[in-house]
């Protein structure tokens, strides 16, 4: 197959399907021929050349080329092209889409230009929807008559070129399907490493031409009348995404992937029954990290553990509630409708604790900060923390939880101490340990 790249290719058009399916006089025929001429000029390996088409009459184009042909959903051609280019940057990827595709897939067009993904987009812009009967599109000129703008289009057309240029496209060109130099411009765009777009104005002889007495001359007049510039409108030399990604992450190659982090049993736990613990406090109160230490401490003591965290989507305000289950056996059900041990650390969480507080009975224990002790009514055994005697009052959650670990005899405090120190810088570990030591005085 190597000979392909060495001998001269005279056409990229399909030998099996030499005749396009387009209406007489349709601009799509001209533009596709220009694309073919550009490919012949570039002598690209057809196996390394991908034509991705959108929906609409233009969407039939890929089948008339002997290259890698990919026909996707309406408006989404750019997304497939991006995936192809990201996965294989050695491929030349050309997207053929209409003005309809620009409208429905506008977000993809903008983002492809912004990302500077190395694909070339040819907009077969015939100012209306041909395939579905001549409805208006995002490029229909103001006043243009279409099936859906009988009295003339009230909307203003999108300046595709200005839009993608502003978003950072590497190459932007506007012209018509009648431009003699279009093959050269397409070739230039294809050779541009980054994102390139050609807005190619065409005649839709089935609809826009008869509905608007349109012609080649009118096409140019309309473009000028709308104040739309033509020719090469932008050339930038910014890094192309697929290659930039590879360069950026090259040094990551071969690093360990999601390495396991085993937790060894080092202590023994006297716990007999599965124990469901809830730590309820406020955001910023280290509830979640303390709950993690509780679970981890249990695991150091040979227990099975689970942890579920609840917090508002705005993570730095409101309540923070963590549920930890500790058990000698593997834990299946992770719900905690009725906690065995509930620690209430601040008022933010109270409204969410109603059903759990109601469910608790004398066999269970509520641990509560003194300021909330009176207002909480429960059948559960109530223990009120007394922080007055604690030598330090920082990291309330840690001190309270450590006191609970001691009081309920969940597992040796040494396991909890180890859990709060694991992976922490020495200073933080030291502070945490002081908070744990303070737990001796609070119950």
Q: Which is nearer to other proteins, 73 or 443 (CB)?
A: 73
Q: Which is nearer to other proteins, 203 or 296 (CB)?
A: 296
| Contact between 72 and other proteins per CB under 8 A | yes
Please report which helix (H) or strand (E) contains residue 123, including its range: strand 119-125
Burial 329-338 (b: 16+ CB within 10 A, else e): eeeeeeebeb
Place of tokens 């005899």: 409
Q: How far is the CB of 332 from other proteins (least distance, A)?
A: 4
| Contact between 9 and other proteins per CB under 8 A | no
Q: How far is the CB of 351 from other proteins (least distance, A)?
A: 16
| Contact between 40 and other proteins per CB under 8 A | no
Contacts (Cβ under 8 Å, ≥6 apart) of 323: 276, 277, 278, 291, 306, 307, 308, 309, 310, 334, 336, 339
Q: How far is the CB of 2 from other proteins (least distance, A)?
A: 11
Q: Which is nearer to other proteins, 95 or 177 (CB)?
A: 95
Contact 189, 93 (CB under 8 A): no
Burial 232-252 (b: 16+ CB within 10 A, else e): ebbeeeeebbbebeeeeeeee
Q: How far apart are CA 164 and CA 170, in angstroms?
A: 9
| Contact between 411 and other proteins per CB under 8 A | no
Among the listed residues 26, 50, 277, 383, the single contact to other proteins using CB under 8 A: 50
Q: How far is the CB of 263 from other proteins (least distance, A)?
A: 6
Q: Which is nearer to other proteins, 260 or 425 (CB)?
A: 260
Three-class DSSP category at 65: strand
Please report which helix (H) or strand (E) contains residue 341, including its range: strand 341-344
Place of tokens 């050695």: 90
For the segment 277-316, give every residue that binds other proteins (CB under 8 A): 292, 295-296, 299, 303-310, 313
User: Is 134 exposed, middle or buried (CB count within 10 Å of its CB: 0-12, 13-18, 19+)?
Assistant: buried
| Contact between 247 and other proteins per CB under 8 A | no
Place of tokens 């942890």: 307
Binding mask 106-125 for other proteins (x = CB under 8 A): -xx-xx--------------
Question: How is residue 427 written in tokens?
Answer: 């200073």
Output the CA angle 365-370-372, nearest 5 degrees: 80
Q: How far is the CB of 258 from other proteins (least distance, A)?
A: 5
Q: How far apart are CA 99 and CA 125, in angstroms?
A: 5
Q: How far is the CB of 212 from other proteins (least distance, A)?
A: 30
Q: Which is nearer to other proteins, 206 or 303 (CB)?
A: 303
Termini Cα distance of the chain: 82
What does the DSSP 8-state code read for residue 48?
Answer: G
Residues binding other proteins: number (CB under 8 A): 68
Q: How far is the CB of 442 from other proteins (least distance, A)?
A: 27
Question: How is residue 85 written in tokens?
Answer: 């280019």
Among the listed residues 35, 38, 42, 67, the single contact to other proteins using CB under 8 A: 67
Which of 347, 339, 337 has the alpha carbon at shortest distance from 281?
Answer: 347
Q: How far is the CB of 247 from other proteins (least distance, A)?
A: 11
Q: How far is the CB of 384 from other proteins (least distance, A)?
A: 29
Stretches 81-89, 156-164, 169-177, 390-398: which one binds other proteins (CB under 8 A)? 81-89
Among the listed residues 331, 384, 408, 443, the single contact to other proteins using CB under 8 A: 331
Q: How far apart are CA 285 and CA 55, in angstroms?
A: 54
Among the listed residues 2, 7, 247, 249, the single contact to other proteins using CB under 8 A: 249
Among the listed residues 257, 270, 316, 426, the single contact to other proteins using CB under 8 A: 257
Place of tokens 């969410």: 352
Q: How far is the CB of 110 from other proteins (least distance, A)?
A: 8
Binding site for other proteins (CB under 8 A): 1, 46-48, 50, 52, 60, 62-63, 66-73, 76, 78-88, 90-91, 107-108, 110-111, 245, 249, 252-258, 260-264, 292, 295-296, 299, 303-310, 313, 331-335, 337
């Amino acid at each position: 197959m190597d000979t392909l790249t060495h001998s001269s290719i005279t056409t990229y058009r399909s030998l099996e399907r030499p005749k396009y399916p387009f209406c007489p006089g349709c601009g799509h025929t001209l533009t596709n021929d220009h694309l073919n001429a550009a490919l012949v000029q570039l002598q690209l390996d057809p196996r390394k050349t991908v034509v991705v088409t959108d929906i609409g009459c233009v969407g039939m184009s890929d089948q008339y080329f002997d290259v890698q042909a990919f026909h996707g959903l309406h408006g989404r051609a750019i997304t497939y092209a991006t995936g192809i280019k990201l996965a294989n940057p050695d491929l030349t990827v050309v997207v053929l889409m209409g003005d309809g595709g620009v409208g429905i897939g506008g977000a993809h067009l903008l983002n492809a230009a912004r990302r500077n993904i190395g694909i070339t987009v040819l907009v077969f812009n015939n100012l209306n929807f041909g395939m579905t009967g001549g409805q208006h599109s995002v490029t229909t000129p103001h006043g243009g008559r279409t099936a859906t703008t009988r009295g003339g289009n009230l909307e203003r057309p999108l300046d595709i070129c200005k839009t993608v240029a502003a978003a950072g496209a590497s190459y932007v060109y506007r012209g018509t399907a009648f431009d003699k130099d279009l093959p050269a411009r397409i070739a230039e765009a294809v050779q541009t490493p980054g994102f390139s777009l050609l807005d190619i104005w065409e005649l839709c002889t089935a609809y826009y031409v008869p509905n608007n007495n349109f012609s080649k001359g009118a096409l140019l007049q309309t473009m000028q009348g709308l104040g739309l510039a033509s020719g090469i409108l932008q050339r930038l030399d910014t890094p192309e995404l697929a290659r930039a990604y590879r360069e950026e992450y090259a040094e990551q190659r071969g690093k360990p992937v999601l390495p396991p982090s085993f937790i060894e049993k080092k202590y023994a736990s006297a716990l007999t029954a599965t124990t469901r613990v809830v730590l309820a406090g406020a955001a910023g109160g280290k509830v979640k990290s303390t709950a993690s230490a509780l679970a981890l401490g249990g695991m150091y003591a040979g227990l099975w553990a689970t942890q579920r965290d609840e917090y508002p989507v705005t993570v730095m305000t409101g309540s923070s509630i963590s549920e930890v289950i500790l058990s000698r056996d593997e834990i299946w059900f992770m719900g905690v409708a009725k906690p065995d041990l509930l620690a209430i650390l601040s008022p933010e969480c109270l409204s969410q604790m109603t059903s759990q507080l109601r469910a608790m009975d004398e066999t269970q224990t509520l641990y509560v900060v003194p300021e909330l002790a009176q207002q909480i009514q429960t059948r559960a055994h109530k223990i009120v923390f007394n922080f007055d005697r604690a030598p330090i009052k920082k990291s309330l959650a840690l001190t309270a939880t450590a006191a609970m670990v001691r009081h309920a005899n969940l597992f040796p405090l040494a396991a909890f101490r180890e859990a709060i120190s694991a992976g922490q810088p020495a200073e933080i570990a030291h502070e945490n340990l002081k908070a744990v030591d303070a737990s001796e005085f609070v119950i």
